[in-house]
Amino acid sequence: MESTEAAGVHDPITENMYTGSQSSFPGDLVDSSDLSAADREQIAAVMNALARLREAERALAEASRRFMKLSEQDMRALHYLIAAKRQNAAVTPKMLSAHMSMSAASVTKLINRLERDGHVIRKLHPSDRRAYALEVTAETTRSARETVGRTQARRIHAAADLTSRERDAVIRFLNGMTEELSLDNVDWTKQP
């Protein structure tokens, strides 16, 4: 199904996912009695901007997967392997398994599929001759770089347009949001 953004439709509900009535936003989940109406409106604008960012990232990832004919899992694995290649780091199946939160058997199937389709190769590990390392093929690296990589890199322009102090505020905000959303802080995820 095509996203509203991709279809060129501007749905007012989608554009304002975090806007509510003065009595309900966000007071029905979080006590916001100490916030002014202007503060609530600005917070809603921040949350809506984040929602639009997530949707843009989702649409880009979906378009990239369709272009490269890969699954979300495949793309995640390749992204990790490409990042490792940029850092001159050798990746073992065990490392990929940990990154992907997958069993060894599932990662082996993933690697076999990516290798069969010409996206990765297995090489002897540079420091452990009993193991092998995974490497993305040059063709897949080039394809990923020229599609999603080039588009993702343009985000740097938005960060570069900020002052150093503004970037510090954004970093503090995003780190704070990450902490608030961490599963370590969610009791219901620990239920059997």
| 130-149 mean pLDDT | 90
In this structure, are residues 132 and 124 in contact, taking their beta carbons and an 8 Å threshold? yes
**Residues 103/58, Cβ–Cβ less than 8 Å:** no
| Cβ contact 19:44 at 8 Å | yes
Residue 92: per-residue pLDDT = 96
Report, as an integer, the average pLDDT of 19-38.
70
Q: Considering only 13-22, 31-40, 83-92, 144-153, which range has the smallest mean pLDDT? A: 13-22
Exposed e or buried b per residue across 26-47, where buried means at least 16 C-beta atoms within 10 angstroms of its C-beta: eeeeeebeebeeeebeebbeeb
Average pLDDT taken over every residue of the chain: 86
C-alpha closest to that of 135 among 94, 84, 70: 84
Q: How many of the other CB atoms lie within 10 Å of CB of 67?
A: 13
Q: How far apart are the first and last CA of the chain?
A: 34
pLDDT > 70? residue 20: no
Q: What span, in angstroms and rounded, lies between the C-alpha atoms of 88 and 70?
A: 24
Average pLDDT over residues 166-192: 88
Nearby residues of 184 by Cβ (< 8 Å), 6 or more positions away: none
The residue among 75 and 188 whose pLDDT is bigger is 75
pLDDT score of 189: 78
Q: Look at residue 2 in the predicted model and tell me its pLDDT.
A: 45
Rounded mean pLDDT, 6-35:
66
pLDDT at 129: 84
Contacts 24+ apart (CB under 8 A), 183-187: none
The span from the CA of 180 to the CA of 55, in Å, is: 20
- Residue-level pLDDT at 28: 67
Among 10-14, 59-63, 155-159, which is the least confidently predicted range?
Answer: 10-14
Residue 167 to residue 156: CA distance in whole angstroms? 12
What average pLDDT does range 62-75 have in this prediction? 89
Which residues touch 39 (CB under 8 Å, ≥6 apart)?
Answer: none
Confidence class of residue 152 from pLDDT cuts 50, 70 and 90? confident
Q: Which residue has the higher pLDDT, 133 or 129?
A: 133
Determine the length of the chain: 192
- Kindly state the tokens that stand for 20: 């509510």
Q: Give the integer Cα–Cα distance in Å for 147 and 152.
A: 9
pTM of the model: 0.70
